[in-house]
Structure 1
């Protein structure tokens, strides 16, 4: 956001102007609670390390000064500054803080003058997985427990307009009672009441105040439904607390504007307790609010792919480590490594992805942009990180130090998820190889580990034969099967170039002009899965280049600020007119094909060098397993050309489904986009957690799981599109694989080489769609894992069962050392939308005797459940989590 240095009173005037509409009726407010906070940006205003230094030093000194100046006033006039959990825990109280200042901060925390809310910071929420969100609540919990305070019951996010409806479920099951959300003032926002109960897909409710700006007007609207009102006083990005003079001006103005109303200085928790005590009768809103900024994820396609792949592996590593201890293998604690992995994952999901694009080549296109980039890349990177040494004429104009500083801010963001990948993959590799070393098979062998709590079979790449596969049958739930090199053998492979062929499950016809599957017929029922009348084929690569017409149309519908920073941040100023650079949709039209056949799979590889300068080469690989009725489609680009002009890439999937109903497996629960999306949020592009089904009236259809990219559009490609109400009509799913739509702080171009995978499968006639969607999607997202060893045999059985659940579809998101206290935490998250009894079977030789139900922050909720014969049972609600501490 561009509100960086406005005074408090100027911010309040802006808020009042924006919210002055729609205040009919008569106010019944008797108490106004003023809560002060600054908006935390990880790196938007500067490099992260410089932002952190300001929080630790200058900002805290200013906050402590005003705290001290107000300490002698009555208690309800004591100034309190609210801070997000992560910067307070990791930076302000972190190892780089001075002992003297830390002591003063700790005193202020104990006295309530520095207050923490439940969230770590503002996130692109729907980009995350469940356990990342849970661990994110731990920073604030740790602070509260360290200083003997109650856990915070309020949470706050600012700037990002909308979030997945996992939030009411997450917060309610964590003991949080109140959520305050504020929007960037240029963006569209959910059309919800100003104060309401937000109901999650599991039926949980949380009290929510939504404001269409960062904070809220001090003067309550006339139709505010309660006696207590929250004046959320926000400064802009990393601006810091008010001065004593600003505070006095605010209090004087508030007292004058609200005669007879009691004014409190306090915290979000103070307001939450007061308003909840009223037992307010408020509207209930049940629905999802997809993020209208979510396109930014695919501004970093490679790192977003890493995030998509590694986040489920965090839970897999936790579980494997715990089970290997139970199997009496010599593994160490990984609690510290996992904590850092989750932290780095969260930092990648924090909502700022680099420095403000105003500092970069925002207005330059074509040759001007290429010149800017050559100059930026020519600048050296200072070893000590001090970019002020690179001062030049550009730096004097922008006051940021150098072009290289701006460019490298994006690399610093990317580093967070790469850190997670390094931690998790390194630990997983060592664990899996130790497991392979420990099994009772002599010589070269591989162990295949199943990280899901239900048994499964699948294709596995032979570790010593890259590109060749074997079939691992019936790998136990959370367990493993071992294979010797002799058992695996050497696969026999034949090849041809026929564009049509049959597999045990499908009849397939390829279109080599468009580069995809023109016909895919299931042999069990003769059903065609691909819409042959569509202009697309399945797996087709589509590149769009947008003109000023599409950009301007979207901007005029979406942006509430039509000029200045609103135009700069959301629009594309400086673009050539559409008459000079028109819209283009491009697909290579000269694909070469090779098909290999083995006893495990039929694999068709399509390549094209007819790229029109967009890349060196495109490759699409279609894998048809012989033992399973699905198709994996993996797109590869070799040396994509960087281009700042608005563009986007897609993989297209037109399905043969009449009058389709879509089910989207979102974070928080499955949604029907025709019914479950709140007006004002994103209806054209959204993140998927599991997969998407497209079904007809008889529940038959086709399903898809985007393995590497979370972003999908339904019915049509969805970049540069916004409407208050939109329902997809065509039975097609488009997976976004890159875009440079956002102009504020996401990278403005994509280049290099990477790949994106999608899995599709047919759905037979049935009454329930979700179970297969969840099961098949998670088997795509969380594949079978392998470890390798050679030499003497170990003592462990060659096949071993692990933790299992009585029905598939509930994810185990934690089974390891409890981050909130003693014992082992075990957590499930129901995915299918089905309530019912659940039985958990723990690994053999487990020594647990009781399971104590706790909430998502580790607080005891009910009496312990006895564990008998390594089993315990409980009721698991639809789309809900269940957490236990095992002892």
Structure 2
């Protein structure tokens, strides 16, 4: 959600009002002696208009206003010299980008060098928990490049606005990048984390960052009542893409401060100025250690097709990086891919920027039923303007949408999805070319393939035959980051038998299907005799559940969650205009009759369930359950053909009720695992959250069941979690629900879902002798990052038929970068501990790298004050803390 109504917001220039107990204003400054006033506007990638039009305003109109104030105030005393803070990506890619005119660019560059246009450390506001580690790291690079280009120190402060809460990867990320201070501001309507106004935020690795949290976009010039320090930050924000304040507004702010805050020094400055001042105080502040799941994260599954692409494409970025580097060390000529990889990371970041389309007030926000269908038909009949200028189209209806045609609003959502499609296109195209080149280089003649393992530990698995779609073969123990080659003749085709039995046995499980609910009603682990399905649940494992919500559920959630009950607060967070509960009551739907067909081969037992009647919710539903014969797990794949769009609030789930006594939950989040009973900060999302790996549910003897969603990262624990908010909810029932679509939002996520797509989830039993977190991490990443194949034919190459690659001494440590250093010269290796194990880690490099020393650097490429590590026999060791990153440049 992105707040446009400045008169209601009262955000900028000293007229904020905070209604919560932690932020009540006092007319007395208390012990505050210095106030640091920082000016910024809230950057929305789209929302107020199409992105290209927003960018044009940043490059032109906004910069002209800021430069005019800067240049006019240049002769003023330091305390009155205006500085404007901007996020890294817009400044680097747009304001200083190739479309900027030379004269204005020269003025901007002068203002940057003199410290009046200031960049903070982050690229923009993100749905942080939706990302992967290396996207977050690469996002820091835009500010770093600006600082290095203009001979400035790297920024030590960062800022995000609007999104209420973020994954606790942030303290780890920022601390390990040399950033000292983070300012977070919520929009005025949403609920927010209940934290002190200034505190140390501790990440799962023990890293800390100084954090100021405001329940509004920024903070008033008057210090809050319980501010603990002499230095205070007045974060002065203008609204969504509104640009800098006027000179008149700045002067009024200073005059009011001089009158109302006698004896207090007012400094116009930067976030870094405040950070240096507050840190020099050595304040005694509380430490908050906990995760803050995003209360807007449901928006990811407003576009399930895009979410699937993102979940699968993002792990392939570091895989491509590492394969390219290793191929060079193996003697395969390959040109640089750094520009293409940088573009892939940029597009992926833009996909997780927090604005996913234009404001719903420009679309059919209040239309439901036949009115909405009429609106949609009219929008789809309008033409698409390739240049984004819809005002000149003959069919434009500006009076209806305020910002141009209906088609413009509709198309804005597709434009956002294009970012992740761009990432996927770049990465998959380059990976295919690399893998095929590798296959052509191995010493096998004729048709052959290579199977490449992109993880840094040994693994086995099933691989699809590239020449026979739907046919698979088993590969065993492929070396870490290595490959194995096969000729076409080596691939033995397995035979299969087919039946329609709903009960069967595999090497690891006894399975019983329920053809009324569409799922598994009994799954017994053979080695222990454990029943893995909760027989007391009303759901079965793998069941598809559709919910349609009424005004009762929506209004209850709205009254709990929204701090603004009318006006834009109701429009953005509620669902005004909904068909009422009498005419459209809450309902749940699962097809109640399924047909089954089962295929048995020496590789897998595969059961396919097809719904007999989809009741108009879609053309067809299918569930496929795959039980490999060489590994103790099960894959569930749900697919829909032609889902029926519906603007009435709805959501879809895959249900996984497990038989676990007195369950303990471990949620594999970005940054580190979370126990929802103790690790979630009050006020954030307890009912729905994104997972990076998956979820494990265990009992007292440590046995249990785990799952990882391969395509849709949102999960709820114990019960479906749409339209629910609580300050203290703790899951008790051992069930996981994977969200596969929803239209919960009413602001700038898609308002309905349609089309055909699929969602996959892997589940496996956890043995009582297995450590939960390492097991969850290893099994999840082996599911999320599959074995990769390349093919070739013709004369044999010179490489051996199999080869080792980069390896680590224990599984559960990811290699998130191994390639050209994005922050300078050399080759960078970045690893990130995931399994919760601190201690010595040994890295074995591919032999052709010929590195002699490993230089430790932080996440922005700055050298750390530690001695270089000697590399001997392609190996070096170092101590790695749990859940922490480590980066090295090779000499």
Normalised to the residue count of structure 1, the TM-score between the two structures is: 0.99
5 Å-filtered alignment, 1:510-659, equals: 510-659=513-662
Alpha-carbon distance in 2 for matches of 1:785, 1:151? 38
* Correspondence 1:16 to 2:17: yes
After TM superposition, give the deviation of residue 9 of structure 1 in Å: 6.9
Preserved CA contact (<8 Å) 2:806 2:844: yes
Using the alignment, how far apart are the partners of 2:575 and 2:744 within structure 1? 9
2:387 pairs with 1:384:
yes
After TM superposition, the structure 1 stretch with the greater mean CA deviation from structure 2, 504-513 or 174-183, is 504-513
**CA distance in 2: counterparts of 1:609 and 1:35, whole angstroms:** 62
Q: Which structure 2 residues correspond to residues 266-285 of structure 1 after superposition, within 5 A?
A: 266-285=269-288
The SS at the match of 1:306 is helix
Aligned to 1:359: 362
Q: Please say if 1:722 is aligned against 2:740.
A: no
Q: Which moved more, 1:196-205 or 1:787-796?
A: 787-796
How far is the alpha carbon of 1:215 from its aligned partner?
Answer: 0.3
Q: Deviations over 1:299-318 (max 9, x none)?
A: 01001110010111000000
CA, structure 1 residues 171+637, in 2 after alignment: closer, same or farther (shift >3 Å)?
Answer: same
Partner secondary structure for residue 437 of structure 1: helix
Tell me the SS of whatever aligns to 1:332: coil
Q: Say if 1:39 and 1:357 are closer, same or farther in 2 by CA, change over 3 A.
A: same
Report if aligned partners of 2:3, 2:9 keep a CA contact under 8 Å in 1: no
> Partners in 2 of 1:386 and 1:394 — Cα distance?
13
Cα offset for 1:6?
A: 4.4
Query: Where do 5+ consecutive residues of structure 1 fail to align?
Result: none
User: Structure 1 residues 530-539 or 282-291, which shifts more?
Assistant: 530-539
| Equivalent pair of 1:8/1:235 in contact (CA under 8 Å) | no
Residue 210 (structure 2) pairs with residue 207 (structure 1): yes
Counterpart for residue 462 of structure 1: 465
Tell me how far 1:396 sits from its aligned partner: 2.2
Q: What per-residue deviation string (whole Å, max 9, x for no partner) do you get for residues 350-409 of structure 1?
A: 000000000000000011000000000000112433200136684124331100000010
1:871 aligns with 2:875: yes
Cα gap change, 1:769 to 1:9, in 2 (>3 Å): closer
Instruction: Identify the range of structure 1 (383-392 vs 783-792) with the bigger mean alpha-carbon deviation.
Output: 383-392
Q: Does 1:188 align with 2:191?
A: yes
Partners of 2:434 and 2:318 in 1: CA distance = 14
1:841 to 808, 827, 844: 844
Measure the CA separation in 1 of the matches of 2:630 and 2:387.
55
SS in 2 for 1:406: helix
**Match status 1:881 vs 2:879:** no
Moved more, 838-847 or 540-549: 838-847
* Contact 1:6–1:235 (8 Å) recurs in 2: no
Q: Distance in 2 between matches of 1:609 and 1:421?
A: 35
Asked if the contact 2:123–2:139 (Cα under 8 Å) also holds between the matched residues in 1, the reply is: yes
SS in 2 for 1:651: strand
Q: 1:7 offset after TM fit, Å?
A: 10
Q: How far apart, in 1, do the equivalents of 2:616 and 2:108 lie?
A: 57
Does residue 664 of the first structure (1) align with residue 650 of the second (2)? no
Query: Does the 8 A contact of 1:125 with 1:164 survive in 2?
Result: yes
| Residues 595, 549 of structure 1: alpha-carbon distance in 2 compared, 3 angstrom cutoff | same
Matches within 5 A, 1:477-516: 477-516=480-519
Partners of 1:50 and 1:287 in 2: CA distance: 39
1:307 alignment partner in structure 2 = 310
> Equivalents in 2 of 1:2, 1:768: separation in Å?
45
Cα deviations by residue, 1:683-742 (Å, 9 ceiling, x for unpaired): 000000011100001110000001111100000000000011100010000000000001
> Aligned pair 1:90/2:93, yes or no?
yes
Q: CA deviation at 1:792?
A: 1.6
Equivalent residue runs for 1:96-245 within 5 Å = 96-245=99-248
* 1:4 and 1:238 in contact (8 A); partners too: no
Count of equivalent residues: 887
CA distance in 2, matches of 1:67, 1:331: 48
1:474 match: 477
Indicate if the aligned counterparts of 2:498 and 2:598 stay in contact, CA closer than 8 A: yes
Residue 223 of structure 2: SS of its match in structure 1? coil
Return closer, same or farther for 1:383/1:670 CA change in 2, 3 Å cut-off.
closer
Does 1:297 pair with 2:306? no
> Any conservation in 1 of the 2:362–2:400 contact (CA below 8 Å)?
no
Q: Which residue does 1:695 correspond to in 2?
A: 698
Judging changes above 3 Å, is the alpha-carbon distance between structure 1 residues 105 and 6 closer, same or farther for their aligned structure 2 residues? farther
Q: Separation in 1 of the partners of 2:136 and 2:575?
A: 33
Change (3 A) 1:7 1:544: closer
SS at match of 2:323: helix
SS of aligned partner of 1:115? strand
User: Does the 8 Å contact 2:25/2:222 carry over to 1?
Assistant: no
Is the CA contact (8 Å cut-off) linking 2:14 and 2:253 kept in structure 1?
A: no
Following superposition, the deviation at residue 610 of structure 1 comes to 1.1
Which one of the candidate residues 781, 785, 794 is aligned to 2:784? 781
Secondary structure at the residue paired with 1:703? Answer: strand
In 2: Cα distance, 1:753 partner to 1:380 partner: 24
- Given that 1:606 and 1:620 are in contact with CA atoms closer than 8 Å, whether structure 2 keeps it comes out as yes
Give the direction of change, closer, same or farther, for the CA distance of 1:696–1:10 in structure 2 (3 Å limit). Answer: closer
Provide the residue aligned with 1:401 in structure 2.
Answer: 404
* 1:19-48: CA deviation from partner (whole Å, max 9, x where unpaired): 686457971000000000000000010000
**784 and 443 in structure 1: CA distance in 2 versus 1, 3 angstrom threshold:** same
Q: Distance in 2 between matches of 1:471 and 1:715?
A: 36
Conservation of the 8 A alpha-carbon contact between 1:9 and 1:250: no
Which of 689, 714, 717 in structure 2 is aligned with 1:711? 714
Mapped pair 1:2 → 2:6: no
- Does the CA-based 8 Å contact 1:226-1:275 persist in structure 2? yes
Work out whether residues 27 and 221 of structure 1, in 8 Å CA contact, stay in contact via their aligned partners in 2. Answer: no
> Aligned partners of 2:741, 2:68: CA distance in 1, in Å?
47
- Of stretches 807-816 and 591-600 in structure 1, the one that deviates more from structure 2 is 591-600
Return the alpha-carbon distance in structure 2 between the equivalents of residues 284 and 17 of structure 1. 23
CA distance in structure 1 between the partners assigned to 2:226 and 2:623 by the alignment:
57
RMSD: 1.3
Structure 1 partner of 2:747 = 744
Change (3 A) 1:10 1:129: closer
Match of 1:806 among 800, 809, 813: 809
Change over 3 Å in CA distance of 1:172–1:10 after alignment to 2: closer
Q: Say whether residues 1:68 and 2:68 are aligned partners.
A: no
Q: 2:16 aligns to what SS in structure 1?
A: helix
Give CA deviations for 1:411-438 in whole Å, capped at 9, x if unaligned.
1100000000000000000000011111
Q: Distance in 1 between matches of 2:394 and 2:688?
A: 41
User: Structure 1, residues 739-784: CA drift from partner, whole Å, max 9, x if none?
Assistant: 0001110000000000000000000113621111100000000000
Shift of 1:222: 2.7
Partner secondary structure for residue 391 of structure 2: helix
CA distance 1:321–1:10, shift in 2 (3 Å) = closer
Match of 1:680 among 683, 693, 698: 683
Q: 1:499 to 1:150 in 2, by over 3 A?
A: same
- SS of corresponding position for 1:721: coil
CA deviations 1:466-506 (Å, max 9, x no partner) are 11110011111000111111111222121111101111111
CA deviation string 1:593-639 (max 9, x = no partner): 11111111111111114111111100111110100000010111001
Secondary structure at the residue paired with 1:45? coil
CA contact (8 A) 2:447 2:487 kept: yes
- Secondary structure of residue in 2 paired with 1:722: coil
CA contact (8 A) 1:26 1:223 kept: no
Distance 1:227 1:527 in 2: 61
1:684–1:8 CA distance, 2 compared to 1 (3 A): closer
Corresponding residue of 1:761: 764
Aligned-partner SS, 1:387: coil
**Following TM superposition, by how much is the alpha carbon of 1:8 offset from its aligned partner in structure 2, in angstroms?**
10
Counterpart in the other structure of 1:375: 378
